[in-house]
Amino acid sequence: MPTQSVWITGASSGIGEALALRYAKNGARVVLSARRESELERVAERCRNAGLAADHVLVLPLDVTDWDALPGKVQVVLDTFGVIDLLVNNAGVSQRSLCKDTDMSVYQKLMDVDVMGQIALTKAVLPHMLERGSGHLAVTASVAGKVGAPMRTGYCAAKHAVMGFFDALRAEVEGEGVNVSTITPGFIHTDISRNALAGDGSNYGKLDDDIAGGMDVNECAEVIFKGLQAKKREIPVGKGKEMAALWVKRLSPELLFRLAKA
């Protein structure tokens, strides 16, 4: 089987970093993207220490909100590895603030990063996959993409939008040989809440209790890796009560609304 070429955004920490290491251990050619080049270099070194050949890892800094730069980034990957077998759109930012306390600029940033950035990079990669008649597009959505939760109005809005876009894209391209997967994590032990936006756009800077008690990030990456290898259309991953909310939403939306309020 040919060596898989995997591009992961948001690869400088959290789920993206753990997933990069998992693919490195599997011998894939890995492209690491995020804004912080120094952190990407650290992750690249971890990949090499895990046994990945030096020429099988590419550090490619990018900002998903810089749409004009994305086609050039795609070309760099193609020039380096020849193909893009899997794109994992994992870049993102969260939010912790009540709606009444949230500046519109915060909502705009959430939409720009979590929605439009994922769409823009996907659109830049999609022609290559359609031309080949092969490829796999994935996005890290969230349980928040299906369930509304307080203090996360903008984040929930963005993740709902991402789920809708990629579900619709799947219906368009699956017959063309391109697979689409939506990843729906619950509470995973990462720095997502520390890096979240407060209502004024500043850094929230706190570790939520539910995040602190969440699934280990490496365990999460293993579930995602197996789901992507199996080309699952939707990959729920988590271990807490929030995962039950996915079923409650289907069976009794009214019950879920009351639980969310509580």
Kindly state the tokens that stand for 3.
Answer: 């060596």
State yes or no: pLDDT of 1 exceeds 60: no
Residue-wise pLDDT tens digits, 40-84: 999 999 999 999 999 999 999 999 999 999 999 999 999 999 999
Which amino acid appears at position 40 of this protein? L
Nearest to 160, CA basis, from 223, 110, 126, 124: 110
Q: What is the mean pLDDT of residues 122-137?
A: 98
State yes or no: pLDDT of 256 exceeds 70: no
pLDDT reported for residue 86: 98
Percentage of the chain surpassing pLDDT 70?
A: 98
| Average pLDDT over the chain, rounded to an integer | 95
Tokens 């894209």 -> residue: 169
Residue-wise pLDDT tens digits, 92-114: 999 999 999 999 999 999 999 99
DSSP letters, 106-153, are HHHHHHIIIIIHHHHHHHHHHHHHHHHT-EEEEEE--GGGTS--TTBH
pLDDT reported for residue 254: 82
Q: What is the mean pLDDT of residues 118-123?
A: 98
Residue-wise pLDDT tens digits, 157-205: 999 999 999 999 999 999 999 999 999 999 999 999 999 999 999 999 9
Active site residue 204: no
**Candidates 23, 107, 155, 204; catalytic one:** 155
pTM of the model: 0.94
DSSP letters, 9-76, are ESTTSHHHHHHHHHHHHTT-EEEEE-S-HHHHHHHHHHHHHTT--GGGEEE----TT-GGGHHHHHHH
- Distance between CA atoms of 93 and 114, rounded to whole angstroms? 7
pLDDT reported for residue 246: 79
pLDDT band at 262 (very low <50, low <70, confident <90, very high): low
Nearest to 144, CA basis, from 83, 192, 88, 87: 192
State yes or no: pLDDT of 249 exceeds 90: no
